[in-house]
Amino acid sequence: MTAESVPDYLPFAEGPFRMAMGLMALKPADWIEIDGNYASEIALRDRLLIERRGDVLAMRPGAAGACREVLDQLAGFLPERFPEHFQRTGPELLNHVTGDRWQVEGELSDPLEIAGRLVQEDLCILQEVDGELRLTAGVLCFPNRWRLADKLGLPMLGIHAPVPAYADRLGRPVDRFLGLMTPDRPVWRLNWSLTDDPTLFQPVGHGRLEPDRSMTAENAGVRVFLRVERQTLRRLPRTGAVLFTIRTYQRPVEALAARPQEAARLASAVRALPDDTARYKSVMPFRSALLACLDRMTGLSASNSQQDRS
């Protein structure tokens, strides 16, 4: 993938719904992704860090060292991986796209904020506290219906408490995996959701049930968005903290109109969502209209959509 292209992530699958970690080995050079939306998304992150600072940036006592290590890692990685975008000049990192110069050496008041202004990824830090990993700091500008303030200080089980079946199916495997992570074995995964709001900053919105009567098979393609998160996990070598990055990509469902096989896969995945998961993800208000829209893309008869409404 070039620095300007947008990756074609379509992680939904046909068949029965299955909750799984879905972790894959991460090549070091693929840690951070930059695409053609970089300038606009960095500008949005800048505005959020000014206007909604308390909502998108937080740090608990004891996390300062890990926050600094995150910036140190980025300040070393970015000019080497993306020399057309970044240049290291002594104690400063120059961003050729925005024209910003950031001091990345010496005393810094908030290194995690600087890190959050350099990349399109959100950055969340997990550290061991009282024998378990807890969220101790983060810069979260593009949340998918969760608030940093609600999760800060919680362990993984607490962070994911609202997610149906997480505690039973993934709680222990996730905790076990994170506990065994080493700096030389970073991983990544993909997660997908659907939303009728294209806003990248979405701190609330889970659990909506009221049907949207204005959503139809004719307009769902432009009003419903496929939102994909590319998530990476890596153990930081100096502090031992775990860094969780979240890169958000989204496109209108109509982008699949010329790809009927992908539209069919998405329809199958939406139909397979358990009702509690569909409710949690706020898919219920437009589920029937979306499925009718996808069936039109795939050339299926109206029988599937009629069944979805029954």
Establish if 73 belongs to a structural domain. Answer: yes
Establish if 17 belongs to a structural domain. Answer: no
Establish if 270 belongs to a structural domain. Answer: yes
Distance (Å, rounded) from C-alpha 156 to C-alpha 178? 10
Residue 61 neighbours by CB distance under 10 Å: 6
Mean pLDDT, residues 232-252: 98
Domain of residue 161: give its range.
Answer: 24-309
* Helices marked H in the chain: 38-51, 53-56, 64-81, 111-116, 148-151, 156-159, 166-169, 171-180, 220-223, 260-272, 275-280, 287-298, 303-309
User: Percent helix, strand, coil in the chain (nearest 5)?
Assistant: 35, 20, 40
pLDDT in tens, 96-116: 999 999 999 999 999 999 999
What's the mean pLDDT when you consider all of the chain?
94
> What is the number of domains present in the chain?
1
Establish if 267 belongs to a structural domain. Answer: yes
Distance (Å, rounded) from C-alpha 67 to C-alpha 104? 12
pLDDT in tens, 137-179: 999 999 999 999 999 999 999 999 999 999 999 999 999 999 9
Which of the 8 DSSP states describes residue 37?
A: T
Q: Work out the percent of the chain whose per-residue pLDDT is above 70.
A: 95
pLDDT for res 4: 64
Establish if 185 belongs to a structural domain. Answer: yes
Establish if 9 belongs to a structural domain. Answer: no
Establish if 45 belongs to a structural domain. Answer: yes
Establish if 2 belongs to a structural domain. Answer: no
Give per-residue burial for 159-176: e unless 16+ CB within 10 Å, then b: bbeebbebeeebbeebee
